[in-house]
Structure 1
Amino acid sequence: MRTRHKVGFWGALAALVGALVVVTPAEEALAHGGLTYPATRTYACYVNGLEGGQGGDVNPTNPACAAAVAQGGKNALWNWFGNLISDAGGRHREIIPDGNLCGPSDTFSGFNLARSDWPTTQLQAGANITFRYNAWAPHPGTWSQYITKDGWDPNQPLRWSDLESVPFDEVTNPPIDGSGPHGAEYTWRGQLPSGKSGKHLIYSIWQRSDSAEAFYNCSDVVFSDSGDPGEPEPPEPEPIAIDCAVEYTKQSEWNNGFVAEVVLRNTGSAAISGWGLTWPYSDGQQVTNAWGASVAQQGAEVTVRSNSGTGHIPVGGSVTFGFQGTHGGSNSVPATFAVNDTLCS
């Protein structure tokens, strides 16, 4: 781990940057996540975009994914885990109109396109599977999974009436005990609906219990014919080794405040996708404003999440963000930094 310490008295600069961005309090920090199995459209298109991209960019080759990007841009891919409504409060059918179920906000509207060529996951009707849901920012809540009715037409906009009236699977506060290619995952066992065949859509709603925020996932699936086992579940992913270096610079410091800049570098042999950087403070420092990233703090623990467009760090690449904070007289540089629970060294 590399750290660098600079001290100055740029009070005017601190006052200026203090007006830029207000840090999100820990109790209101946004959760993020999405189904990785069966893969939600945003995740499947993100993976497809990585496969087709060069130089750390995303360039989906799947026709439906490419059409979604052409309509709404690439931010939805970099932020594939952020398909949400912040004030849903369980009012899903009330606030999301027919045709907007898969992308209820402008950023994700391209994923509402009525097409039959979205990436699909092969499943067997009636089978027990392990649902996998990325825990980008964990919070308690309930996950409800619905299936489309027989006769659903994927070439028509998805309506609430296209879904079975009750979820076939529902779980509250599943464990975060999985390790996927893009971070920790919630996992739980569930039984798929029986009697289904051909193309269907699994619609998942995660309603947080500690906030009104809710997340929405559309997973395109193909149920195999009776007696055909279909494709097996993906094996438990091996954790991806992360090598990183952190440069923490105090750009200015005064009586009870400071401004700092952090550079996170990928020093490993594989790209880092979907990063979360954490560190503990030892002198009671508190982050008050941030720019270039989303920062939350609970007690001494600071958690930084990437903004849209900075979630992918290629080999040899880096991201930079800054923040303003307060201290009570002592303001030592954090001793340890970790990315996705892996210490930087």
Structure 2
Amino acid sequence: MHVLRDTHSPRWTLRALAMLSAAIMFLIPWAGDAKAHGSIVDPASRNYGCWDRWGHDHLNPAMAQQDPMCWQAWQDNPNAMWNWNGLYRNNVGGDHRGQVPDGQLCSGGRTEGGRYNSLDAVGPWKTTDVGDDFTVHLYDQASHGADYFQVYVTKQGFDPATEALGWGDLELVEQTGSYAPAQNISIDVSTSGRSGHHVVYTIWQASHMDQVYYLCSDVNFG
């Protein structure tokens, strides 16, 4: 028997809107979390860089040769890129080394159910050219502010293309104080004695709650 629906009733209207919203979220997977948080955009964090370079063309098989580390990341979980600004852990209590084991630093200790595990992969990640003195730029769409930032750089002799990143491979080069809520925050960093491919590891302790972002950016010291 065919049942006529009253398409003007509030219940039917709400149901239709819910179905439409679900369809939009399926077609545009970055429409959820991607507006909520932030990341280091220069030098680009690994997943932000992959989104920036390939988000418009992420199914292109040429990526496998041109940008193999991004290719493996897109194949592992595209949502690591669509949600490029959602790589955080809650309720860390300042125990960064206890919460994030060696070999899992770039995924924030396999946070968010393992969404970002591909960022721990060892290999020739694309780099941003920097000098001894450079600036780390955070884009925080939600304007969380910061209790502090800790910026580390890998020690000379560590090779991100062949070695998994551990805490012992890092040197703290900048410890900041607090920052008021803003969408754009810049942190000046000074280093010396480095050349070649390194990882800049930024810990951002957000101010709105105990929420910590763990962000790997690959750089090349000229």
Bin of the TM-score, shorter chain as denominator length: 0.7 to 0.9
Check conservation: 1:34, 1:43, Cα contact below 8 A. Answer: yes
Worse overlay, 136-145 or 90-99? 136-145
2:43 paired residue number: 38
Distance 1:212 1:41, change over 3 A: same
1:64 paired residue number: 69
Q: Does residue 201 in structure 1 map to residue 199 in structure 2?
A: yes
Higher-strand-fraction structure:
1
1:331 paired residue number: none
Cα deviation for residue 153 of structure 1 reads: 2.0
2:145 paired residue number: 140
2:55 paired residue number: 50
Cα deviation for residue 212 of structure 1 reads: 1.4
1:8 paired residue number: 9
For residues 161 and 186 of structure 1, what CA distance do their matches in structure 2 show? 30
Larger Rg: 1
2:106 paired residue number: 102
2:85 paired residue number: 81
For residues 81 and 192 of structure 2, what CA distance do their matches in structure 1 show? 32
Check conservation: 1:123, 1:221, Cα contact below 8 A. Answer: yes
Q: Does residue 131 in structure 1 map to residue 136 in structure 2?
A: yes
For residues 56 and 190 of structure 2, what CA distance do their matches in structure 1 show? 29
Worse overlay, 146-155 or 188-197? 188-197
Check conservation: 2:173, 2:189, Cα contact below 8 A. Answer: no
- Matched positions, count: 189
For residues 205 and 217 of structure 1, what CA distance do their matches in structure 2 show? 7
For 2:72, the aligned partner's letter is A
Higher-helix-fraction structure:
2
Cα deviation for residue 211 of structure 1 reads: 1.2
For 2:52, the aligned partner's letter is V
1:217 paired residue number: 215
1:229 paired residue number: none
For residues 61 and 173 of structure 2, what CA distance do their matches in structure 1 show? 34
For residues 122 and 46 of structure 2, what CA distance do their matches in structure 1 show? 12
Cα deviation for residue 194 of structure 1 reads: 1.7
Give me the TM-score of the superposition, normalised by structure 2: 0.75
Cα deviation for residue 84 of structure 1 reads: 1.0
For 1:41, the aligned partner's letter is R
1:248-301 C-alpha deviation (Å, 9 max, x unpaired): xxxxxxxxxxxxxxxxxxxxxxxxxxxxxxxxxxxxxxxxxxxxxxxxxxxxxx
Structure 1 residue runs of 4 or more that deviate by more than 6 Å after TM superposition:
none
Task: Note the residue ranges of structure 1 that are not aligned, 5 or more in a row.
Answer: 1-5, 18-29, 177-184, 225-345
1:56-87 C-alpha deviation (Å, 9 max, x unpaired): x999551011112223x101110011111122
Give me the TM-score of the superposition, normalised by structure 1: 0.50
